[in-house]
Structures are given as C-alpha cells and as structure tokens.
Amino acid sequence: MSDARLFDALFGAGNHEVVIDGHFVAGPARLGGTPVAVIGSWDAAAVDGDLALAIAGEILRVVEADTGTTARPIVFIADTQGQALSRREELLGLNGCFAHVARCVDLARRAGHTTLTLIHGEAVSGGFLAFGMLADRIIALPDAQVRVMDLRAMSRVTKIELERLQTLAKASPVFAPGADNYWRMGAVSTLWDRADGHWPAMLAAELAEARKVAGQDVRARTGAERGGRKLAAAVAAEVAGG
C-alpha cells in the first residue's frame, strides 16, 4: 500500500491520526486499547539531514510528552532507499544527524518506550540502520525489500569479484539482500504475508512480543536458531565470558 490506507489496515479506520508530510510520517494511533506513537520515513525516502532531524525531534517530543506517565510504544515506519548521497549532506554532517537519531532511539528505550519497526517498501543502508534496525522487534510487511549494501557496491568496497560474492550469497544470508535473508540472520523478527489475516491483531501480538525482549538484543541468538548466523552468538558469549 503506497498511501495512508496502510495505517487503516494496521490500526483500523478511525484509530489513527498519522500524517504523511513528504517523506516524513508521524502521529498518534491506538492499537486496541493501547495508545502508540508512529514515526518514520515514507515513499522510499533518501534520508537527508532534515528528515533525520525530523525523526529525532519527534522521538524526543514523544519521550517528553510521556514523562511521568506510561511510556507509549513507538512504531517506526521504515521506507527508505538509504541515506541521501550528496557531498552537501556529507559536508553538513549527515553522519552526525544519524548518530543523533540513534541516540534518541536509545533515550526512548531507556525511558521505557517499547519500539517496533514495520518495514514498508524498502529498508536500505544508513536510512534503515539509524532508527529502524534499532527497534526491539522488526516486521517486514508484504513485498518489503531489505539490504544494507548492493552486491556490486560490496564488490567495489571489498575488492572481491562480483561472481564470488554472488556465489557466497547463495550459501550465506550474510552476503545476500532480501527480507527472507535478514529473517534468517535474526535481524527481521517476522515476515508478514498478504494472506496472513487481521493486521491489527497481528500488530498487537508483535507488540506483546517486543515488550518481552525490550532493551535486549536477541538477534545473534535468533540468527543461530534460524541457521543464518552460526557463530555470532557463540563468539559473543565466549568474549563476554572470557
């Protein structure tokens, strides 16, 4: 769904006041009897400094508004082609803007906000890593595309031949794009299908699961259980115990 009907499907018509402003989305919603805050990017956004600061500012606004009350869950919407690729953005400190977003997500977590990311459309590179991938739980909606680096770009950076990377991608999800591969690695918690059923009930169940692991990073363990990251959890445990 490429318009606001997505939020009707997720929360039910009349249960949200989410506003789409260009590439930025934000607004309150209700999931059953639970109020939530929706924040994120839209329409395959190339996340620049302005959009990053808008996302960070909305996170801070929600944290401030909920101080002294029950902290609302935050539902992030990730629909991005990655960071804006321009010298202007780099010179203006886009990396610092992304770091600020990440710190704001961490602040929200410390303030008691459960976080949940819905990947809608694309989730690529820094535009996804800066906030969407930091959530307690991540759901890929139907037809979602997830990748950090295209294999051709990876080939240029690593100096490994593209054909070799393509072969590795067939055997290991670490090298391969796609929501299913990120599910195998534990980075994506759940893959939704169009025929799955009633989305508000499914979203409520996902939020309940996110609360169980809030503040924890279970991705390496989940990736080992799914066979996508066979060594990360074991190596991390050995380092922590050593």
**Alpha-helical regions (H) of 3-134:** 5-11, 49-65, 87-91, 94-110, 125-129
CA distance linking residue 229 with residue 182, whole number of Å: 10
- According to the model, what pLDDT value does residue 127 have? 86
Side-chain half-sphere exposure of 152, counting CA atoms within 13 A: 0
> Given a cut of 60, is residue 2 above it in pLDDT?
no
Q: Considering only residues 172 and 223, tell me which one the structure prediction assigns the higher pLDDT.
A: 223
Q: How far is CA 30 from CA 33, 35, 39, in A?
A: 6, 4, 14
Q: Considering only residues 151 and 113, tell me which one the structure prediction assigns the higher pLDDT.
A: 113
Q: How far is CA 55 from CA 23, 102, 206, in A?
A: 10, 10, 22
Kindly report the pTM of this predicted structure.
0.92
> Given a cut of 90, is residue 150 above it in pLDDT?
no
20-30 per-residue burial string, b: 16 or more CB within 10 A, e: under 16: beebbbbbbbe
Q: Which two tokens stand for residue 79?
A: 């629909």
> Given a cut of 70, is residue 216 above it in pLDDT?
yes
Which of 181-185's residues contact partners 24+ apart within 8 Å by CB, and which partners? 181/146, 181/228, 182/140, 182/146, 183/140, 183/226, 183/228, 184/223, 184/226, 184/227, 184/228, 185/219, 185/223, 185/226, 185/228, 185/229
CA distance linking residue 59 with residue 110, whole number of Å: 13
CA distance linking residue 140 with residue 145, whole number of Å: 8
Tokens 């990073």 sit at which residue? 217
Q: Considering only residues 14 and 4, tell me which one the structure prediction assigns the higher pLDDT.
A: 14
Closest among 19, 40, 15, 31 to 203, alpha carbons compared: 31
Reported as a pLDDT band with limits 50, 70 and 90, residue 215 is confident
Reported as a pLDDT band with limits 50, 70 and 90, residue 196 is confident
CA distance linking residue 32 with residue 59, whole number of Å: 22
Query: What domains lie within the chain, and their CATH numbers?
Result: 5-216 (3.90.226.10)
Q: How far is CA 97 from CA 92, 123, 130, 146, in A?
A: 9, 18, 9, 22
